[in-house]
């Protein structure tokens, strides 16, 4: 049966399919890297927690991988996200002696995952690859819905701020955090990192209609670091604090001097950066509901 041709206002556009065909050839390398997307709303973060027993992304993924591999599989990730935080391209790796194809590691594993988690890509990598330690940087995006009325459809996908925010002053305030700094003031309680120093490569804050998107890239992040930064920038954007308050908070090296931690709802891990030698696929940045212009770095 032939397809129906529409002669509407968009009939001049050429539509092409983006359906991917996955290979059925076995991946012979014993170290496999996966790209994972998940809605963190129903999970208590990434990492498996023994006490109390709660749902985590790692537990769901390892259970599904074990089903397909027919042997126990343990994964390591690029960045451990907190409760309620989402990811569009979390990278994990694991070792498995059982040869499985790309289609098995993607579609096969996805059949055993809840609808809020999916494997997006799979590739065999050199045994020297490590999802965490091979990464040179991570990029997060924080998406704010700045509107007088909340969006029920995007509940838990965006952070809703009903008062007007000045994204320009937020962007300028964020530039005070660039470079290598002691981020103790932006570090969550209970952080187990041996050092509070991190190198902040880039922070940009832009507006697209009612959406404000902050994109933050650093070599690594402390516990709650992005959300604590956003808490400060939101206060500045609301006009409750001066533009240089972000720098003053940084200089204090004291968490109690900063703003409250921002909601996890609008936070997405969108990219882990690796040397090209590992051959990981390049994917457009998420989340997918953002306009096309945001598929690359802003």
Is residue 121 within 8 A of residue 34, CB to CB? The reply is yes
- 58 to 31, 135, 150, 182: CA distances (angstroms): 17, 19, 31, 30
State yes or no: 140 annotated in a binding site: yes
39 is catalytic: no
Q: Which residues contact 192 (CB under 8 A, 6 or more apart)?
A: 223
Region class of 103: left (phi > 0), else alpha (psi between -120 and 50), else beta: alpha
- Per-residue burial over 53-68, b if 16 or more Cβ lie within 10 Å, else e, is eeebbbbbbbebbbeb
Which of 25, 39, 82, 182 is an active site residue? 82
Instruction: Give the containing element (helix H, strand E) for 253.
Output: none
Peptide bond into 52 cis (omega under 30): yes
Instruction: Give the containing element (helix H, strand E) for 158.
Output: none
Residue 185 is classified by DSSP as: G
| Residue in the block written with tokens 């996955």 | 22
Q: Which residues contact 276 (CB under 8 A, 6 or more apart)?
A: none
CA-closest candidate to residue 129, choices 291, 272, 282: 272
Tell me, rounded to whole angstroms, the distance of Cα 286 from its chain centroid.
Answer: 8
What's the half-sphere exposure (Cβ side, CA atoms, 13 Å) at 198? Answer: 26
Q: Sort strands 267-273 and 86-95 into parallel, antiparallel or unpaired.
A: parallel
Output the known binding site.
Answer: 140
Output the known binding site for substrate.
Answer: 140
Which residues are catalytic, by number? 82
């Amino acid at each position: 049966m032939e397809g129906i041709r529409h002669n509407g206002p968009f009939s001049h556009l050429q539509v092409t399919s983006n359906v991917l065909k996955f290979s059925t050839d076995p991946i012979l390398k014993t170290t496999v890297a996966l790209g994972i997307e998940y809605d963190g709303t129903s999970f208590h973060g990434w990492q498996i927690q023994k006490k109390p027993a709660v749902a985590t992304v790692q537990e769901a993924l390892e259970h599904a991988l074990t089903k397909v591999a027919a042997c126990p599989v343990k994964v390591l990730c690029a960045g451990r996200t907190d409760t309620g935080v989402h990811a569009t391209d979390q990278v994990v790796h694991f070792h498995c002696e059982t040869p499985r194809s790309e289609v098995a590691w993607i579609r096969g594993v996805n059949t055993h995952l809840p609808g809020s988690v999916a494997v997006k890509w799979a590739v065999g990598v050199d045994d020297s690859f490590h999802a965490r330690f091979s990464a040179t940087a991570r990029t997060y995006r924080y998406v704010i819905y700045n509107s007088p009325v909340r969006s029920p459809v995007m509940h838990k996908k965006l952070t809703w701020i009903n008062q007007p925010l000045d994204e320009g002053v937020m962007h300028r305030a964020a530039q005070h955090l660039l470079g290598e700094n002691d981020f103790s003031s932006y570090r969550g309680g209970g952080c187990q990192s041996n050092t509070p120093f991190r190198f902040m490569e880039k922070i940009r804050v832009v507006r697209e209609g009612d959406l404000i998107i902050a994109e933050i890239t650093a070599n690594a992040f402390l516990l709650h670091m992005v959300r604590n930064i956003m808490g400060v920038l939101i206060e500045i954007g609301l006009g409750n604090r001066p533009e240089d308050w972000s720098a003053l908070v940084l200089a204090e090296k004291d968490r109690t001097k900063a703003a409250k931690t921002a909601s996890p709802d609008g936070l997405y891990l969108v990219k882990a950066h690796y040397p090209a030698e590992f051959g990981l696929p390049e994917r457009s940045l998420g989340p997918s509901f953002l306009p096309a212009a945001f598929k690359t770095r802003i």
